Amino acid sequence: MSESLQTFMNIFQAESVKKIIIPKIQRDYAQGRNTDEIRRVRARFLDALYKAVTTERKIKLDFVYGDLSDDGILTPLDGQQRLTTLFLLHWYAAKKENISSEETACLENFSYDTRPDSREFCKFLIDAKVFFDAENLSEELENLSGFPLGWKKDPTVSSMLVMLDAIHEKFRGVENLWGKLRDGAISFYFLSIKDLGLTDELYVTMNSRGKPLTDFEHFKAEFKRKLDDLDRELSDRIILKIDTTWTDLLWNYRDENNLIDDGFLAYFGFLCDVILYRKGDTPQSKSRDPFDLLEEFFDGDALKNIAFMEKSFDCWCDLDKLEKISDFFADRVSTGSRTDKTVNKHAAGKIITYFDDANFFGDCIRSGKDFSLGKVVILYAFLIYLLNVKKISDADFRRRIRIVNNLVDNSRNAELSNSTSRNNGNRIPAMLEQVDSIIINGKILQRSEIKTANCDNFNEIQLKEEREKFLWTEKNPAKAESLFRLEDHYLLGGQIGIVGLEYSENFKRFISLFECDYDKITCALLAIGNYWQVDGTNGRRYQLGSTRPQSWQNLFHKSALTGGFDDTKEILEKLLEGSKYFTDNYLQGIIDDYLAACERKSEFDWKYYFIKYKDFRPTRYGRYWWENFEDEPYCFVTLHEQQKRTTNSYQPFLKAVDVGELSREYFGMRIDLYKYYVTCENDAYVVWNTETGVAKNRLTINQRGGIDTEDRIKKFKVWAEGYLI
């Protein structure tokens, strides 16, 4: 018999079905089980049925296969779970709305033969008088006189009770539920298999002995149903691609069970997010469950979404025919490091990413929901290229993806936001619009040209720099590769403003300089001038270089929250002017000359001590705290952490004298000496009585114009030998 579209009610008339009996060979009713997976399946199924009876969108369920005997007994081969849920939903509507027994006779023709208890429970439901006055429908049923306690041990009965509670919770407010069911709000395709007896062999073939479908198989079935409702020919084409070419595409990223299910759903999720962003929306705070994504996907312009999805899979398939996707990325992207100077290797025509995987497509497939916003933007850029590959030359793409990569690398934290509640708002829609323009047209849009409502996109400082570099490389094509090599330096990560475009000879000099010892670099720079930068939020936290790369990355990446970037650039430029190539010996010469000049003039400012004594330069983040630099330049603290003073912080003028123990309780601002403690003031060391808090002695440091005229650390050590010991 060919397939036909039926409802639970009319199948008993249209197909000569007298009874539906779930046979012993079938597994127990499972949709009411209380596992996390089944709860999700149950909720999704009931949501779909609820929409069918509360909106104009009727639902067509998948096939019910059955063996229809000559005497009208339908034995389902596949569809038992759906039929049972429909039976319970129709029973609920009939009892709740007091539908006459003549009209509900179809309910009496449904039964279970898996166990006697299951069969008896179905009969019990038909005769039960329910008033819906208990908190749970199952509670009311269990309290009826005809309900033996033993029934609850039957897995089908207990599962039906759970489902009835879920139906009651979901449908209690639906009016005329029976009428809507009668009018075909919910239907299914029915296929009768004639002239075949029900055997174990047949059942194994049709239903894999009750092996539960995976989430992906449920997803694909639901996807197909929705596609069928739109366009059957389109549906056949898409499902065929899922089963063939798209599976072949994802096969290289299969999991340990040789499945591509999670990979498909991960990329599908990425595409759904892109669709949302392109509408100016965000997936944040929305469910990213695949079945909920389907609702989004088919809500609104479904045909447009399907076309985008099809092209977005096919373009990778087309690429895969020409070269391996992994090779495609390997030829254009390498993985860098922000902490290890030996990792970043510049290669012409390639970008360096600081994400952990250079194959962004493969990373998306494997990462699933953990695919970060930065990766979303980069993968989107590659996708846009492949979708427009006939209009964009390979050389143009390599130049343009470098721009996008620089923008992403320098738009971290606040800028890479898809939140609607944060101050920066959802920037991703505008970022994707900017990416479209850069990749397709080679144009970096001005703020006023962004059409997205929230026109904030990438970091404004980086956008300005990328525009300048783009024009500069067009005018200086022979020097472009030298610029790109500088961009790829791990201390810069694409932002070269600290070097600038004014003197291109400084590109190589910068690279040479930072092959040297970082401690010598920070001292040599300080010998030239105060190259530090000051946190604008409080004016007390100062940034200098250190042996850690992060200190230099902080200095070299301009921020609206930090002051002094131009001073850093000016002093760095003066150092770069001194030599074409840099060595540790060259830098040590600058340091030695500075210290000798200070000692010759007997002028020991704070920089002298900083350069002279190693304790002033701990192997940390290069952060220092001055309460009042202008009036008290000798009163500062080395910070152990980046943002605040902690118990590991210390006053370097106290640590350098190497006497007693620095007090952790007072953030290293005093030396504890049993009955006494020592502090350092702007022009003196002071000894205090620990018990009374009264100053016991004061070692004054001679100064001229607020600058020491003697090395206070040497003076303290000599004085301490005679006074403290």
pLDDT tens digits for range 469-527: 999 999 999 999 999 999 999 999 999 999 999 999 999 999 999 999 999 999 999 99
Specify whether the backbone of 526 is left (phi greater than 0), alpha (psi in -120 to 50) or beta.
alpha
Q: Is the pLDDT of residue 32 over 80?
A: yes
Q: If you count them, how many residues does the chain have?
A: 725
pLDDT at 197: 42
Instruction: Tell me the average pLDDT of the chain.
Output: 90
State the amino acid at position 190 in one-letter form. Answer: F
pLDDT in tens, 103-139: 998 899 998 887 788 889 999 999 999 988 888 899 9
CA 618/CA 614 separation, integer angstroms: 7
Q: Is the pLDDT of residue 192 over 70?
A: yes
The structure tokens listed for 715 are: 């003076």
Per-position DSSP letters for 276-314, written without gaps between them? HHHTT---TTS---HHHHHHHHTSSSHHHHHHHHHHHHH
The answer to whether 154 and 121 have CB atoms below 8 angstroms apart is yes
Percent of the chain scored above 90 by pLDDT?
66
Task: With CA atoms as reference, report the closest residue to 171 among 59, 82, 95, 81.
Answer: 95
pLDDT at 15: 58
Please compute the mean of the pLDDT values over residues 65-73 and round it to a whole number.
81
pLDDT in tens, 315-367: 999 999 889 999 999 999 999 999 999 999 999 999 999 999 999 999 999 98
The answer to whether 523 and 587 have CB atoms below 8 angstroms apart is yes
pLDDT at 3: 60
Percent of the chain scored above 70 by pLDDT?
95
pLDDT at 199: 42
Task: Say which DSSP state 426 is in.
Answer: B
Q: Is the pLDDT of residue 206 over 50?
A: no
Radius of gyration of the chain (CA): 37
Q: Is the dihedral of CA 53, 59, 61, 66 positive or negative?
A: positive
List, in order, residues 6 or more apart from 703 with CB less than 8 Å away.
683, 709
pLDDT at 701: 97
Instruction: Please tell me which residue, 88 or 10, carries the higher pLDDT value.
Output: 88
Instruction: Please tell me which residue, 199 or 448, carries the higher pLDDT value.
Output: 448
Q: Is the pLDDT of residue 198 over 50?
A: no
Which DSSP helix (H) or strand (E) runs through 37? helix 36-54
Q: Is the pLDDT of residue 440 over 80?
A: yes
CA 304/CA 371 separation, integer angstroms: 24
State the amino acid at position 193 in one-letter form. Answer: I
CA atoms within 13 A on the CB side of 440: 12
Q: Is the pLDDT of residue 388 over 80?
A: yes
Which DSSP helix (H) or strand (E) runs through 222? helix 215-230
Q: Which of 17-31, 270-284, 586-600, 647-661 has the lowest mean pLDDT?
A: 17-31
User: In the 3-class helix/strand/coil scheme, how is 474-493 assigned residue by residue?
Assistant: HHCHHHHHHHHHHHCCCCCC
Task: With CA atoms as reference, report the closest residue to 674 among 655, 665, 661.
Answer: 661
Per-position DSSP letters for 350-398, written without gaps between them? -EEE-SS-S-HHHHHHHHGGG--HHHHHHHHHHHHHHHTTTTS-HHHHH
Helix, strand or coil, per DSSP, at residue 435: helix
Please compute the mean of the pLDDT values over residues 17-45 and round it to a whole number.
81
Q: Give the pLDDT band (50/70/90) at residue 213.
A: low
pLDDT in tens, 246-292: 999 999 998 888 889 999 999 999 999 999 999 999 998 888 888 88
Q: Is the pLDDT of residue 405 over 90?
A: yes
The structure tokens listed for 333 are: 């992207």
Q: What angle do CA 562, 377, 557 make, to 5 degrees?
A: 20
348 Cα distance to chain centroid: 30
CA 405/CA 353 separation, integer angstroms: 7
Task: Say which DSSP state 17 is in.
Answer: -
The answer to whether 620 and 638 have CB atoms below 8 angstroms apart is yes
pLDDT at 42: 87
Q: Give the pLDDT band (50/70/90) at residue 200.
A: very low
The answer to whether 571 and 525 have CB atoms below 8 angstroms apart is yes
The answer to whether 474 and 466 have CB atoms below 8 angstroms apart is no
pLDDT at 724: 62
pLDDT at 585: 98
